[in-house]
Amino acid sequence: MNGFYNINKPTGLTSSDVVGRIRRITGVKRVGHLGTLDPGAAGVLPIAVSKCARLFDFLTEKQKSYRAEFVFGVETDTLDAYGKITAIKPFSGDENEVKACLRQFIGKIKQLPPAYSALSVNGVRAYDLARKGEAVELQPRQVEVFDFSLVQKTENGFIFDISCGRGTYIRSLARDLAYSLDTIGYMSMLIRTSSGMFKLCDSYTLEEIEKDPTGTLLPADYPLMALEKAEFNARDGFKLLNGIAISGMRMDNRPRRVYIENEFVGLGEATADGFKLTVFLKED
């Protein structure tokens, strides 16, 4: 079994919980998620099965999209609805005022991660230090936000659609947007609507996967369709599979999907010696 599951993660489960469920369903030990979702968040959680886990570094760089609700005028220690309220500051701003502040958060920005995060501080998870009441010293990091749009005002807050790159904390966006509005705030709801090629509209629940683990498994090349294709006959394919570069091919050094006799075997790219297979995914 080699491929991906596009899972619609429910709230209440950690990403590791989902990985454990997939291991039990499939009987495959090598299973990993491509980008953590907090227990309180729902939506797209791509899961790599067997050799597809080798694509972790490549696929986690992809663009992600979210729908989130922010509540202004209240702040929690975790910056989400699961934390303790630490401050209250009345907010009476309207939709136009909120929209006007969104522009400053689009593009490459510096962002301070939440104290309650999985980032490591001297070998210890930041959330473990925060739970003990210890000071958490994290440094601002550069992240990229491609789109930040107000969808509607709700009874308790505002709903936004956000598209961003790897490492962006939506909870930090809630905090920082609130500060720009001269108030405080937290993220009350989060749904990941896409992660690269994985879309919420095409996702499956864990219950659906348990009923049909084979039929819901996506092929190994599913999330790679944006890459160009490189096709080889059996003779050249034998060379590639044995670590021999194919010379005389004119192409840049961007990764390509590699097929041998129409069978997807992994990723390859041009090197100084020629075209080589760099990530091997073919099942034994």
Q: Which residues are catalytic?
A: 38
Angle between helices 170-180 and 95-102 (to 10 degrees): 110
Query: Rounded to the nearest 5 degrees, what angle is found at the Cα of 142, between the Cα atoms of 82 and 121?
Result: 55
For residue 102, count other CB atoms closer than 10 A to its CB.
Answer: 18
Torsion of CA 105, 108, 114, 118, to 10 degrees: 140
Q: Is the CB of residue 47 less than 8 Å from the CB of residue 5?
A: yes
Q: Is 45 exposed, middle or buried (0-12, 13-18, 19+ CB in 10 A)?
A: buried
SS3 221: coil
Q: Which of 90, 68, 209 shows the shortest CA–CA distance to 149? A: 68
Residue 143's identity, in one-letter code, is V
Torsions phi, psi for 83 (to 5 deg): -95, 180
Determine contact, residues 53/32, Cβ cutoff 8 Å: yes
Cα dihedral sign for 255, 31, 126, 109?
A: positive
Closest Cα to residue 235, out of 257, 258, 255, 261? Answer: 261
List the one residue out of 149, 61, 62 whose CA is nearest residue 106. 149
